Structure 1
Amino acid sequence: MRPNTLADAVERIQNGFARDVVLAEFVDTFDLAKTDQDRYASIEFAPKLTGDRRLDALVGAIAEYLAKQRRLGRVPHWVSDPARRLDSPWFTTESPSDSMREYLTFASPAEFASRNIFTEERPLRRARAAPEFS
């Protein structure tokens, strides 16, 4: 069963479910929501802080990114909490080379880079996601 909210997803991760799987399931839930109001409702409430600085920052980036990419018209206030930012850079690619670090630094969406998270250009891309239009 997919998590209905980002807060539910974080709770599942804390209960031992695989982070990558749970977050992918949440993105599916978000993308399959019938209305923008339903999409916003899925990110509106702050997930509990876990003490895992990377996870706490990552969920802030995910919520802000989804709200902006899907043009929901607002971003949840909780994403601005300083606890949702990392003090040192995190490159999500395992053991990145210097050139990969440079690429990720350039390619990372602002919602991730502003939290010191460096990842691919479209980090929440799903195989069956609707195409993004500019």
Structure 2
Amino acid sequence: MRPNTLAEAVECIQAGSARDVVLAEFVDRFDLAKTDQDRYASIEREPKLTGDDQLDALIGAIAEYLAKQRRLGRVPHWVCDPARRLNHRWFTVTNPSDAMREYLTFSSPAEFASRNIFTEERPLRRARGPNPTKP
């Protein structure tokens, strides 16, 4: 079952489902929502903190990024919680070279970089997601 909300996605992850799979399924569900109100509703409820600092920060980054990229007009208040930020740098690429670290540092969206998460330029892109080049 695909999670309908980001909070449900975190619950699935905590229940043992693969993080990458669950988050991809959530993004698919988010992108398939019929209205911006439905999209916002899927990120509005605060997911429980897991104790996994990387996951907790990543969830905050995902919610803020989706709200801003999809121009929902508002960002959930809970993304500002200091527990949604890392105290150390996390590069999402395994064993990045110095050149890759530099690239990720400068290409990471602000919603991720502000939480010390360094990832690719379009971290949540999906095959069926919206085309950012279309007006």
> What interval of TM-score do these two structures reach, taking the shorter chain for normalisation?
over 0.9
The alpha carbon displacement at 1:97 in A equals 0.3
Counterpart code for 2:98? D
1:107 maps onto 2:99 in alignment: no
Counterpart code for 1:116? N
In structure 1, the residue matched to 2:121 is 121
Contact 2:14 2:50 in 1 (8 A): yes
1:52 maps onto 2:52 in alignment: yes
In structure 2, the residue matched to 1:32 is 32
In structure 2, the residue matched to 1:20 is 20
TM-score with structure 1 setting the length: 0.98
The alpha carbon displacement at 1:40 in A equals 0.1
Other structure's SS at 1:74 match = coil
Runs of 4+ in structure 1 off by over 2 angstroms are none
| Aligned counterparts of 1:76 and 1:91: Cα–Cα separation in 2 | 25
The alpha carbon displacement at 1:132 in A equals 1.1
The alpha carbon displacement at 1:130 in A equals 2.3
Give structure 1 stretches of 5+ with no counterpart.
Answer: none
Give structure 2 stretches of 5+ with no counterpart.
Answer: none
Contact 2:7 2:48 in 1 (8 A): yes
Counterpart code for 1:29? R
The alpha carbon displacement at 1:20 in A equals 0.1
Other structure's SS at 2:51 match = coil
Between the aligned residues of both structures, percent identity stands at: 81
Other structure's SS at 2:72 match = coil
Contact 2:12 2:22 in 1 (8 A): yes
| Aligned counterparts of 1:128 and 1:28: Cα–Cα separation in 2 | 7
In structure 1, the residue matched to 2:93 is 93
